[in-house]
Structure 1
Amino acid sequence: MKQFENKVAVITGGASGFGKVFARLGAALRMRLVLADVQEDVLDATVGELKAQGAQVIGLRADVARAAEVQALADAAMSAFGEVNLLFNNAGVGAGGLLWESTERDWDWVLGVNLHGVIHGVRIFTPLMLEAARKDADYRGHIVNTASMAGLLNAPAMGIYNVSKHAVVALSETLYQDLGLVTDQVHCSVLCPYFVPTGISQSHRNRPATLANAVPPTRSQRVAQAQAEKAVSSGKVSAEDVAQRTFDAIRDESFYIYSHPQALDGVRQRMEAMVAQRNPPDPFGDKPEVRAALVRALRD
């Protein structure tokens, strides 16, 4: 997709974090926008902000874990603008702790948003894009799935999140191959950010009451939460930087998008260990103090 003006972008998790910055950049490029978010008050404020700047934008409260609500989002986009050119499957939540201490509700919440949200987006929006491509040789579409460096690495005490993001990377790579079988007009990318200051470490604020745990967080879950808050808040790469890299990748039809390319050294070590049939390397190999702090927090 070389041109963005007047194209239609649908953004889940569009009222905060990466989603809000994607929306702002899309508006600056004169795109027409459809924003979805589970937090209605923040969504209304974001839509109001963009409208005040002259953007064509609508907002719809949607929980992407629910297929019917993603379908309603697609229906609203088509009703308002007649097509969808760019889909950001961006909504996401975070949770951590020792793997065996995660409850069934923890799994349902994180996988519901992080994985099933992307599944619903791909399943519902891709046919709309392919149909538009069949009707118009000049049509161009693109899907961006937000994964994480946690989809390429496996840091301890981040089990549910790791699983969800690895699945998104696998889904996205398969989508890339599947699209290549049937069209040259619709492409996709996977965004793998590392620690970037967004609201992901506070995503529990929007956890549905039906998926809340009946018991307090475990020690490891509290430690993982504190670690995530520190790492995210201290990130030096901004969400704006990541958004610009993402739009550049869409324009260039690049698949992998990284916020911190230097973190790929850990990915290389992991892949080399797999090929050589060695045990998994320490993801904190270059930061032993992080592992030491985790050990102290969990054993003392």
Structure 2
Amino acid sequence: MSTIFKKANTAVITGGASGIGLALAQKCVGYGMRVLVADWDAKGLEDAAKSLGSGVSTARVDVSKVEDWGELKGRVEKEFGGQINLLALNAGIGARTAFEGAEADPSIFRKVLDVNFFGIVNGVSTFLPFIKEKASSSSDYQSAIVITGSKQGITNPPGNPAYNASKAAVKSLAEQLSYDLRAQKNINVHILVPGWTWTALAGAASGRAKPEAPWTPAQVVDYLEGKMREGKFWVLCPDNDVDEVTDKKRMLWSAGDAVEGRAPLSRWRDEFKGEFAKWMEKDL
């Protein structure tokens, strides 16, 4: 899908005021694309508009609210004529949750799911009709839907059940969307699964220096572009600490819990540490 990133194409990017979303907006601007950046952070949007230039539009949007998507839809109709070549559903939040103490508050779980999962559902339901209409009108029209997931939605590490559940649901939704659009040869779906990336959620907002291990958002976006050009659904990003082989071994082990009848989250249980260590030493 190399034709996505080209002059005069359009991009709508949620969570685009910082991190990976901002880096993706910068890439689109570099190709001469028309870009609409949506985010809830008003100050971030203001800063993004300054850094991205006059060719970029911004919209303050709460992706969990259907009415905000209605306003964004109106903007796309007015500014882009309903054309969307790249829909990047990237907005997400992190909030600590648990099943005891203050972090067990159901309202925190609900907020995480509302943004991380229903924010994707709202985006797809709002803009997929636009994309399909344009795609059906011309075989030359190319569009891509990029959905940001997380490795936590695949391997499910202990410590943050709401975030993990939201990203597991996002993975399932992206898979279903890809399948449902399988006959649409000029629409591709991609799930972006970053490794450790130096964003606000990962500690960049603290002001401390970036550690060696995480990738920058720009590195993630470059990797995404490469996989999009290959037409790949899965965009499983490594980082400077964890390579692709390590990621795949961890994912295979996690899937094996059900197949082998192990206790859930066995990778983190003391009684399986030796067996897991041996597994990681094996060749795939």
Give the TM-score taking structure 1 as reference length. Answer: 0.80
- The sequence identity of aligned pairs, in percent, is 29
Match of 2:86 in 1: 86
* CA separation of 1:239 and 1:282: change in aligned 2, threshold 3 A: farther
1:147-181 deviations in Å (ceiling 9; x for gaps): 10011011111100000000000000000000014
Structure 2 residue runs of 5 or longer lacking an equivalent are 239-243, 274-284
Is residue 9–residue 32 contact of structure 1 (8 Å, CA) maintained in 2? yes
Amino acid at match of 2:264: P
- Is the counterpart of residue 244 in structure 1 residue 222 in structure 2? yes
Amino acid at match of 1:68: E
1:110-145 deviations in Å (ceiling 9; x for gaps): 011100000001111111100001111211111011
Distance 2:250 2:35 in 1: 36
**Matching of residues 11-160 of structure 1 within 5 Å:** 11-51=13-53, 56-82=55-81, 83-100=83-100, 101-160=103-162
Distance 2:179 2:94 in 1: 28
Distance 1:32 1:186 in 2: 19
Match of 2:241 in 1: none
Is residue 153–residue 283 contact of structure 1 (8 Å, CA) maintained in 2? no
Match of 1:2 in 2: 2
Distance 1:66 1:139 in 2: 30
Match of 2:187 in 1: 186
Q: How far 1:234 moved relative to its partner?
A: 6.4
Distance 1:99 1:36 in 2: 33
Distance 1:279 1:7 in 2: 49
* CA separation of 1:275 and 1:119: change in aligned 2, threshold 3 A: same
The range that moved more, 104-113 or 270-279, is 270-279
- Is the counterpart of residue 195 in structure 1 residue 196 in structure 2? yes
Structure 1 residue runs of 5 or longer lacking an equivalent are 206-225, 289-300
Q: How far 1:187 moved relative to its partner?
A: 1.1
Is residue 92–residue 113 contact of structure 1 (8 Å, CA) maintained in 2? yes
Corresponding residue pairs, total: 259
Amino acid at match of 1:190: I
Distance 1:198 1:70 in 2: 25
* CA separation of 1:267 and 1:252: change in aligned 2, threshold 3 A: same
Distance 1:152 1:241 in 2: 22
Q: State the 4+ residue runs in structure 1 displaced beyond 3 angstroms.
A: 232-235, 281-286
Q: How far 1:202 moved relative to its partner?
A: 6.9
Distance 2:230 2:73 in 1: 26
Q: CA RMSD in A?
A: 2.4
Distance 1:9 1:236 in 2: 26
Is residue 156–residue 265 contact of structure 2 (8 Å, CA) maintained in 1? no
Distance 1:201 1:108 in 2: 22
Give the TM-score taking structure 2 as reference length. Answer: 0.84
